[in-house]
Amino acid sequence: MILRQFIVNNPWFRAAVAVAFVQQCLVAGGTYLLGDITAHLPISGLSWSKCILLLVCMSFSGSLLFYALQLFSLRSQRTALKSFFAFYFQRTYNQPNFWRHNGERQKRHDMMCREAQDAIHEGNTFFLDLWTTGWNIILNTLSVVLVIGAQSGAVILTVGLVSSLLVHFASDHLSKTAIDEMDDQNQINAHLGKSWDNLTLGNALSFGLWRNKFENLFSRANASAEESLKARERILATGNFFTTVAIVGSAFTQAYLNKTDISSVIALFAMLPRTLQINMHVQIVQHSWASWQRIRERLNMAAESVSQFPKTQAEQFIRKDGIEIVQSDSNETLSPSELLKSARSLRVGRITVRGPNGTGKSVLLSIIKEQLADDAYYLPAHHSLDLPGVEHSLSHGEKAKAALQALALSNHQVLLLDEWDANLSLENRHALSARIAALAEERLVIEVRHNTDSNCVGA
């Protein structure tokens, strides 16, 4: 799983894991020292060395090491996010034809901006908590066994195993309710993505329909969330009740059987809170187990956003009989296939592509861009590209002029201009066309024209 590799395979996660292990060793050491001091009261129990060690175990584990654990955990999460984005950028770069499909683009963008980040954060917390809690159970159980005997350890392991089996046998049902909850919430998020026009434009008819659907989806999501919670907590509450009764009952039984040995009874009850805490951590592991299906599904869904993009047969969207391609210097007409073949060999000149909407003009440019990679610069008609000197406050004509100026100073040998003349005044179209003609004297310009008020060179 790609995202799990991002989470686990980074140095800050390994540092956090190491700190968590040391922290749990100190916690278990404190448990043992507390029990040992209690068991040997009043004569040999108290000593300066034991008290100082107990103070170190308790203070360092809950302060300095806890601080380091939280800091390393945050850095682990941010490192995983950075690695994910770098991988996403690498996979996405120079895929203009694939990203022309708005549905796929929106889905993957949502994954990158919301689901993937949430999944990495949740996965990072899950793996680290599971590691920390697991060592807490193992080391503290060992400490309890060393203080009050193997019987208590056997009880903890037995009831923990039985309650874990309860969660295991219910895992299919828990997984189904968790997935239903996630699916219903995703439908709400998808519907909220349509809120802009339905809400802000103030059209009562559309808003009423949109709100009714939202309320229905919200009610269904509430029901799914409640059902998921009930299914999970019923199983966990049953296991917790069973393990608590077994652990406390075992402690009372041992205390009764050893009532003549007051030191053993004191040590037994001194360890009872720690034993119950071990039981609580067992419940945390079981809760994580019950939640794993949901976390795994989120990680899988987010991983789709960095999966290999499918190759599309873009040529099938080009209507060869509907596109007119003209070389300005010779007025020679080219076919789409001839343009695709000659785009790499031609170094200078101006080629204009015209045709009705839907004939595949933009698809043709996107194919050329994918072929030429960084040798070409693709400027779509509507874009939010970062270009030097192009500010959001500029008018459309000023932005177009600044964009051409930036491209003139760049080192791209091929410029692909998609309907650069759309939404421009006649004066601006003539001025920019003259600039493009000048650019075409030193590099290749392939343009898609929106307007037909002038030829490709004039103006």
Residue-wise pLDDT tens digits, 187-220: 887 888 778 888 888 899 989 999 999 999 999 9
Q: How far apart are CA 377 and CA 373, in angstroms?
A: 8
- Structure confidence at residue 113 as a pLDDT band (50, 70, 90): low
Q: What is the pLDDT of residue 457?
A: 45
- Structure confidence at residue 36 as a pLDDT band (50, 70, 90): confident
CATH of 2-306, one of 3.20.20.70, 3.10.105.10, 1.20.1560.10, 2.60.40.10: 1.20.1560.10
What is the sign, positive or negative, of the torsion defined by CA atoms of 168, 174, 179, 185? negative
Structure-token pair, residue 438: 């000048």
Chain region(s) in the chain for CATH 3.40.50.300: 314-448
| β-pairing verdict for 333-334 and 376-379 | unpaired
Q: Which of 9-13, 50-54, 159-163, 321-325 has the lowest mean pLDDT?
A: 159-163
CA–CA–CA angle 457, 414, 440 (5° rounding):
25
Using alpha carbons, select from 102, 106, 125, 126 the residue that is nearest to residue 305. 106
Using alpha carbons, select from 134, 126, 146 the residue that is nearest to residue 73. 126
Q: Which of 27-36, 183-192, 240-249, 348-357 has the lowest mean pLDDT?
A: 240-249
Q: How far apart are CA 453 and CA 6, in angstroms?
A: 54
Q: How far apart are CA 135 and CA 354, in angstroms?
A: 68
Q: Please give the share of the chain, as a percent, with pLDDT higher than 90.
A: 14
| Residue 373: burial class (beta carbons within 10 Å; 0-12, 13-18, 19+) | exposed
Q: What is the pLDDT of residue 25?
A: 92
Give the N- to C-terminal CA distance of the chain in Å, as an integer: 56
Chain region(s) in the chain for CATH 1.20.1560.10: 2-306
CA–CA–CA angle 243, 248, 249 (5° rounding):
95
Q: What is the pLDDT of residue 103?
A: 59
Non-local (6+) Cβ contacts of 282 within 8 A are: 137, 156, 160, 163, 164, 243
CATH of 314-448, one of 3.40.190.10, 3.30.70.20, 3.40.50.300, 3.40.50.970: 3.40.50.300
